[in-house]
Amino acid sequence: MLRIEYVYWLCGALLLAASGFDLAARRYAPAAFWAIVAGCFFAADAVEAAAKVGNSLPAQLAGASVIALGLIAGSGALTRRAVTDEDNERRRASAERLRNWLFAPALAIPLVTLLLALAIPYLTFGGISVFDSRQPALIALGTACVISALAAMRLTRARPMTALHESSRLLDALSWAALLPMLLAMLGAVFAATGVGDAVAHLVSAAIPTQSRDACVLAYALGMALFTMIMGNAFAAFPVMTAGIGLPLLIGEHHAHAAVVGALGMLCGYCGTLVTPMAANFNVVPAVLLELRDPNGVIRAQWPTAVILFAANVILLDWLAFR
């Protein structure tokens, strides 16, 4: 059976390859950086299994690695390499030769993911499913990436070594930004475990005039958007703000529809996601991937949509929740 762990091990192998190429080129800081991340990927199963039986030593070692990663990134030793190589002539000639075939492996990633995601429940062999059904979307994506990489190697007549070299080059270009989504998700978990959310909800609900319905609606919507901006993730903000304001004030005191409060509250949070660097995988990583000089370029392109849509959400919430 194809398990989700294999997908993660493959990620670990690509990270290790990046470390190897950096080491060979005597770029020691990125070599150490990627080696530590790869180590976390290979050790992740052991960390989770040990934590279940109450042994927290592997998790503590992983925690120490996280601190090391932060220090390497903060030391400024991870100089980003240019994303595109300089050989424009060769690329233009190759594009002229392969023409639209070049799109095929790129489009194979989404299309194979889609087909596999739909087919996974039916793919069984002798009563055992071929794919692990725990995280079908991620397994489908992982398998699609392998298939499309093979197709790309065949199409461009490249050796596997070249594919590894290319992925390492892109990883070095992304540098610490590639890791930011994981680090921010970690911070969200730490904030949740240390009661930061409850403290915020407490402060907000102490500051608003609770007898005014409109004030409560606005406080809930703004609270969702702002706390999402801090956490970088509407999912982390939702339980905190809804337990602090949504449930007691909107639903309890002013008799709002729970389904409407839930749906629109979450969407107010999404408007916050569009304008925060904390949502790194949506706002910071693309700025690096697209080689924007302004690290906040994507946020600059999104904020007008976010502000207008937030206003629309507040109006919808005020109207639909109290019919």
Partner 1 sequence: MNYWPLLGIAVVVFGFALRLNPALVVVVAGIASGLLAGLSIPDLLALLGRSFVSNRALLILVLTLPTIGLLERAGLRERAHAWIAGMRRLTFARLLIAYLALRQILSTFGLNNIAGHPQTVRPLLAPMAEAAAAKIDPELAEGERERVKALAAGTDNVGLFFGEDVFIAFGGVLLIQAFFSQHGIELDPRSIAIWALPTAIAAFVIHALRILWFQRKLRRAVDARAGREANAAD
Q: Taking CB under 8 A as the criterion, which residues in 108-137 touch partner 1?
A: 109-111, 113-114, 117, 135, 137
| Closest to 282 (Cα-Cα) out of 265, 264, 267, 296 | 296
Q: Is 210 in the site for partner 1 (CB under 8 A)?
A: no
Residues 243-302 that bind partner 1 (CB under 8 A): 243, 247, 251, 258-260, 262-264, 266-267, 270, 273-274, 277-278, 280-287, 289-290, 292-294, 297-298, 300-302
Helix 4-24 and helix 136-156, axial crossing angle in degrees, nearest 10:
50
Cβ 124 to partner 1 shortest distance, Å: 21
Q: How would you classify residue 175: left for phi > 0, otherwise alpha for psi between -120 and 50, otherwise beta?
A: left
Query: Using CA atoms, how far apart are residues 1 and 3, in angstroms rounded to an integer?
Result: 6
Residues 6+ apart with CB under 8 A from 1: 128, 129, 130, 131, 132
Q: Is 323 an interacting residue with respect to partner 1 (CB under 8 A)?
A: no
Q: Does 235 bind partner 1 (CB under 8 A)?
A: yes
- 24, 53, 67, 128: which one contacts partner 1 (CB under 8 A)? 67
* Residue ranges in 77-106 that form contacts with partner 1 under rule CB under 8 A: 84-85, 91-96, 98-100, 102-103, 105-106
Instruction: Report in angstroms how near the CB of residue 128 gets to partner 1 at its nearest.
Output: 24
Among 196, 219, 221, 222, binds partner 1 (CB under 8 A): 196
Judged by CB under 8 A, the chain residues 131 through 190 that form the site for partner 1 are 135, 137-138, 140-142, 145-146, 148-149, 151-153, 155-156, 158, 162-167, 169-171, 176-190
Candidates 295, 277, 216; CA nearest to 252 is 216
Nearest to partner 1 of 16, 216 (CB atom) = 16
Stretch that binds partner 1, among 7-15, 19-27, 124-132, 215-223 (CB under 8 A): 7-15
Is 44 a binder of partner 1 (CB under 8 A)?
yes
d(CA 182, CA 175): 13
Return the number of other C-beta atoms located less than 10 Å from residue 262's C-beta: 15
Distance in angstroms (rounded) separating the CA atoms of residues 246 and 219 = 9
Residue 21 binding partner 1, by CB under 8 A? no
- Residue 48 and residue 290: Cα distance in Å, rounded? 35
